[in-house]
């Protein structure tokens, strides 16, 4: 979640996902690294999914077929579909948050 939010830049999602990450035991330093796009300390069994999530977000939800194949080879079809469902939900929330921020900016004439 943090990897996708870092790409999309939604402050509301960043706040929410950071809170969830802290509750799950991820350190503040690890969170900062993920939000900066650094996955060096990512657990080995999650690295492919996190790199894929970043690529998915950066490609505007149109990942390279080779990346999808690698994800499927690593996690299987069912888990790949679950990852895609989560990515779509995160993307929708990020887009809503960023749209809300833009609306606030416009109606405040750039003051907020």
The 10s digit of each residue's pLDDT in 41-90 is: 888 899 999 999 999 999 999 999 999 999 999 999 999 999 999 999 98
Nearest to 19 by CA among 28, 29, 6, 10: 28
Task: Provide the percentage of residues in the chain whose pLDDT is more than 70.
Answer: 100
Q: Are the C-beta atoms of residues 56 and 63 closer than 8 Å to each other?
A: yes
**Residues in the chain, overall count:** 112
CB 54 within 8 A of CB 43: no
Average pLDDT of span 81-109: 92
Determine the average pLDDT of the residues in 32-42: 85
| Whole-number Å distance between alpha carbons of 12 and 31 | 15
65-107 vs 47-58: helix crossing angle, rounded to 10:
60
């Amino acid at each position: 979640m943090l990897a996708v939010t870092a790409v999309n830049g939604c402050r509301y999602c960043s706040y929410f996902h950071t809170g969830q990450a802290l509750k799950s035991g991820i350190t503040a330093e690890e969170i900062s690294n993920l939000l900066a796009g650094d996955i060096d300390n990512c657990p080995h069994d999650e690295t492919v999914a996190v790199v894929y999530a970043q690529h998915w977000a950066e490609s505007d939800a149109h990942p390279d077929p080779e990346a999808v194949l690698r994800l499927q080879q690593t996690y299987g079809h069912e888990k790949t579909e679950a990852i895609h469902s989560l990515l779509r939900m995160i993307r929708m929330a990020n887009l809503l948050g960023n749209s809300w921020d833009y609306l606030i900016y416009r109606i405040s004439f750039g003051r907020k």
